[in-house]
């Protein structure tokens, strides 16, 4: 039955807040949790240092990069993210590597019945890039969205020039649906984006995390009882 989902409940935003993982990848142990007020220092330091690496792929915003990513900007952003999480329109995850904040996986535009759909976006600290962190993190998040959150479709849009992001989606088995022309104002101009998606019927037993484990790209880690 197309609309049957394990774990679907009548709560307004099932599956949030949530902690996902841990999962071992090449770079270390990845986990996800809701963003915190005290992530501000690490968020600001990474984002300011990584301007050149992040800016080509991110929506154009008013104001200078350093100003928009100063530590003082985080509390207002965090409040917005937290309230989107509480309203049920987003799942704003912090990604940690060996318990250190290294980036975000953001599930946004959560639309419930009848679409049961959302987009997923992500970035990671350049010093740990290429270590499998975001592939592992997105696998955990998509599996969670298709189970506890009860979604049916997850979408990701990527500039065709973004080889690293395309590779993440390829490793996870996202299906390319087409090209959105002049879709998003990124890095100062309207840019084409390739649209990728997955629906629940495409997910094999074990989910995306199981797919990474089977491919030797990740290992499940058993967390110690609290
Ligand atoms: C895209 C991004 C999130 C990927 O995160 P990550 O943790 O490095 O991802 P992973 O290590 O899981 O996978 C990246 C893959 O791309 C590959 N890759 C990296 N740079 C590449 C390049 N220039 N050309 C081809 N492949 C590349 C890596 O080798 C790796 O593949 P592999 O496992 O087969 O070796 C990260 O590069 C990033 O934050 N970029 C800037 C922001 C951004 O682009 N966000 C996404 C917008 S759609």
pLDDT per residue as tens digits for the range 171-186: 999 999 999 999 999 9
Give a yes or no: residue 173 inside a domain: yes
CA 76 to chain centre: 20
Give a yes or no: residue 213 inside a domain: yes
pLDDT of residue 2: 38
Residue 192: domain span: 20-220
Verify whether ligand 1 is closer than 6 Å to residue 162 (CB atom): yes
Domain count, the chain: 1
Q: What is the pTM of this model?
A: 0.94
Distances (CA, A) of 148 to 13, 15, 152, 222: 10, 5, 11, 20
pLDDT per residue as tens digits for the range 44-69: 999 999 999 999 999 988 889 999 99
Give a yes or no: residue 12 inside a domain: no
Give a yes or no: residue 2 inside a domain: no
Check which CATH number belongs to the domain holding 204 and give it. Answer: 3.40.630.30
Whole-number Å distance, alpha carbon 126 to ligand 1 midpoint, is 10
The answer for residues whose C-beta is within 8 angstroms of residue 83's C-beta and 6 or more apart is none
Whole-number Å distance, alpha carbon 170 to ligand 1 midpoint, is 11
Verify whether ligand 1 is closer than 6 Å to residue 53 (CB atom): yes
Verify whether ligand 1 is closer than 6 Å to residue 54 (CB atom): yes
Give a yes or no: residue 116 inside a domain: yes
């Amino acid at each position: 039955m197309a609309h049957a989902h394990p774990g679907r409940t009548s709560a307004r935003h099932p599956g949030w807040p949530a902690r996902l993982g841990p999962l071992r990848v090449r770079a270390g142990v990845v986990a996800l949790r809701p963003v915190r007020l005290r992530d501000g220092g690490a968020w600001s330091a990474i984002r300011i240092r990584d301007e050149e690496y992040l800016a080509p792929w991110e929506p154009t915003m008013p104001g200078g990069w350093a100003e928009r990513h100063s530590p003082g900007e985080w509390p207002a952003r965090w409040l917005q993210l937290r309230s989107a999480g509480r309203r049920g329109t987003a799942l704003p995850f912090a990604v940690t590597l060996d318990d250190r904040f290294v980036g975000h996986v953001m599930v946004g535009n959560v639309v419930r019945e009848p679409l049961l759909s959302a987009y997923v976006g992500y970035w990671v600290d350049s010093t740990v890039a290429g270590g499998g962190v975001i592939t592992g993190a997105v696998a955990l998040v998509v599996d969670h969205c298709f189970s506890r959150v009860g979604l049916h479709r997850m979408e990701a849009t990527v500039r065709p020039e973004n080889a690293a992001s395309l590779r993440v989606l390829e490793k996870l088995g996202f299906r390319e649906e087409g090209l959105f022309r002049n879709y998003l104002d990124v890095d100062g101009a309207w840019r084409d984006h390739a649209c990728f998606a997955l629906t629940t019927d495409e997910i094999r037993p074990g989910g995306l995390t199981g797919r990474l484990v089977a491919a030797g790209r990740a290992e499940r880690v058993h967390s110690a009882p609290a």
